[in-house]
Amino acid sequence: MTFPAVTAFHAGLLALIYLGLSGWVVAGRLSMGVLHGDGGREALEKRIRSQANFGEYVPFALLLIAFVEAGGGSLTLVRSLLIVLLIARLLHPIGMFAPPNSPRQFACRGGGVIATFSVIAVAAVTLLVR
């Protein structure tokens, strides 16, 4: 098994995005005067859920992709999964703030969710068939 260098690089990029989302939540808390929870503020709730959703899915997806890479999987597949994951996780928060039932909400939030699930599914199936 080799060190998953391509996944590690993208994990660093995704970590910076997570820090950006975390800073966005902190800034929202400070500007809205909310120390705990969302204070009943819908905009803050959306920020919190965007950050939390990222934290719920990205580590697992990265772990699966790292296993694919470390196990000798195709670097083209690994890079493709990582790029799709990166784009998906950038789109999701944009969609969270789109008007309800708007094309932007479906494209960004829905597209981000479907792309993230697809990355996890493809990585999982790849590991199972190896």
For each of the domains in the chain, give its residue range(s) and CATH number, in order of start. Answer: 5-129 (1.20.120.550)
Taking residue 120's Cβ as centre, other Cβ atoms within 10 Å add up to: 18
Buried b / exposed e along 65-94 (16+ C-beta atoms within 10 A):
bbbbbeeebeeeebbebbebbbebbebbbb
Write the CB contacts of 108 (distance below 8 Å, at least 6 apart in sequence): 91, 92, 94, 95, 98
pTM of structure: 0.93
What is the tens place of the pLDDT at every residue in 104-120?
Answer: 999 999 999 999 999 99
Computed over every residue of the chain, the mean pLDDT equals 96
Phi, psi for residue 82 in degrees, rounded to 5: -70, -40
**Is the per-residue pLDDT at 1 higher than 80?**
no
Measured CA to CA, the distance from residue 88 to residue 105 in angstroms comes to 13
What is the tens place of the pLDDT at every residue in 61-90?
Answer: 999 999 999 999 999 999 999 999 999 999
